[in-house]
Amino acid sequence: MGSTEVTLCGVRLDNPVIPASGTFGFGYEFAELYDINCLGSISFKGTTIEPRFGNPTPRIAECEAGMLNSVGLQNPGAEKVLTEELPRLKKVFKKPLMANVSGFSVKDYTAAVEILDREDAIGWFEINISCPNVHGGGLAFGTSCENAAAVTAAVKKVTKKPVLIKLSPNVTDITEIAKACEAAGADGLSLINTLLGMRIDLKTKKPVLANKAGGFSGPAIKPVAVRMVYQVYEAVKIPIVGMGGISTAEDVIEMMLAGASAVEVGAANLAEPFACKNIIEDLPRVMQKYGIDNLKDITGGAHNG
């Protein structure tokens, strides 16, 4: 049987499969269904410095090959995540965690990271820069090289743990943002976050989501995600966590060939709670089918020749 072990920013994972933030709660909820220690890691629910109730409802809309969401980063705030949510998760999960952090100013990001940095179980920080910059006219941090670099540099100053920046696909050239983050000290990158989308109700003739637009995820975005991971792999030298439409072991292999060192599974968890477990269990079969002995050796394989 081939080896599914990979390394992400110097931290070893039994396999590259990580539930994506916002699709797996704080993790312990899924422990009621199966032993979540089969996972490579968990990127737990996006955390902000202050508690957030989230956006008004309706905030979920189904699509033909995916879904829209405008949940709005609902979470209890960094302090409660540290003192209430993570202790529950640590009882049922014994591997390093990925802390997904969001903010609406540079100070928000650093304050949340400083609080969560007190938790030894956190192996990496995944910084979501798709949030609107409240001090910059509302444009997402991830749409500007300057803003993306500013968040990266600020977070790097307040933690010694690896920092991965989660990139937005809603930009003209994602490689420019990636290079700016790398230059500012990022240890790795996660991509892609959701694409901006909308649905309109034919009966009411109004947008389905209360927030009008939302993040589009699911199988339909996989070709876009694979393309962007491929491009970013050629533009930077730091590790990439690839995501966007992954729902099978074959999808994992494809994303890794494009350049990912690990992958995150998002919308698939909402449709099938056992999605990550099923993917992990099927990986050895798919590896054997395609003659892969060591999964870590295939990262960027599509760039050879």
Residues assigned a catalytic role? 131
Q: How many other C-beta atoms lie within 10 A of the C-beta of residue 230?
A: 20
Question: Nearest to residue 63, comparing CAs of 236, 232, 217?
Answer: 217
- β-pair partners for 125: 99, 163
Beta strand pairing status for 240-243 and 262-265?
parallel
Three state DSSP letters for 10-48 = CEEECCCEEECCCCCCCCCCHHHCCCHHHCCCCEEEEEC
Backbone φ and ψ of 7, nearest 5°: -125, 135
Helix (H) or strand (E) holding 127, with range, is: strand 122-128
Backbone φ and ψ of 143, nearest 5°: -95, 0
Instruction: Supply angle C-alpha 134, 138, 143, rounded to 5.
Output: 115
Question: Nearest to residue 238, comparing CAs of 167, 283, 183, 173?
Answer: 183
- β-pair partners for 164: 126, 188
Contact status, residue 79 vs residue 114, Cβ threshold 8 Å: no
Q: Counting runs of H as helices and runs of E as strands, what totals does the chain give?
A: 9, 16
